[in-house]
Amino acid sequence: MLGPPGAGKGTQAERFAKARDIPRISTGDILRDAVHAKTDIGLRAKAIMDRGELVGDDVMIGIVNERLGRNDAVNGFVLDGFPRTVAQASALDGIMSKRDPLIVVDIVVPEDELVRRLGTRSICRLCGTGASVGSTVGAACAKCGGPLVQRADDNQAIVIERLKVYHRQSEPLVEYYRIRPTFRSIDGAQSPDRVAADLAAAIEAAGRGAVGVRG
């Protein structure tokens, strides 16, 4: 699942995965899992993060490869936050070479709407969990019930810069996938329920396209 910060892809990925009883796999979650499990690649990732550096493609690819090899991902999964680069996408193709074709959905939201959403995002004061798009400051956290507060780092200048970085990284990635019969793009500037319905319909249609790819 592709989409810029504020598109709601995390919320939609979790919702879709839960409805179909498959794992939602986010890069943040699997990094934490690998570090906690003290796998070889998890220890490499921890050393990199402890130095304050970004985890590179090779480590992220290794961690995703490990995670997709677990039993709960045999019947399907939703990837959220990976791939982020064409190099990662190419490696993912290799990982998936003996499995069903990937279905790729790009959630598209106008930039002015993204700036508005990101400028009003909130997190839980107690557990630090990010709230879903549309949550309001003062509401209860869905995870622990703590109060939601506005993110301190979501000022407009930072938001705009983050979106510029995303566009630089993502445009080649979207082009990498766009020509595939299993690629779909949906309008993310709708209500969460409408986006969820469009997402499910797009995945069903792309799945029909995947039959030809498998054949």
Active-site choice (20, 151, 178, 208):
151
Q: Could you tell me the maximum CA-CA distance found in the chain, to the nearest angstrom?
A: 52
Residues in the chain: 215
Active-site choice (121, 143, 168, 208):
121
The residue whose two tokens read 């990925």 is 13
Strands 24-26, 78-80: pairing is parallel
Active site residue 51: no
Active-site choice (32, 46, 84, 180):
84
Torsion angle (degrees, nearest 10) of CA 117, 118, 119, 125: 110
Active site residue 125: no
Active site residue 15: no
Active site residue 84: yes
- State the DSSP H helix or E strand holding residue 212, giving kind and residue range, or none if neither: helix 192-214
Active site residue 70: no
Active-site choice (9, 24, 67, 184):
9
Q: Which region holds residue 192: left if phi is over 0, alpha if psi is between -120 and 50, else beta? A: alpha
- State the DSSP H helix or E strand holding residue 28, giving kind and residue range, or none if neither: helix 27-37
Residues serving a catalytic function are 9, 84, 121, 151, 162
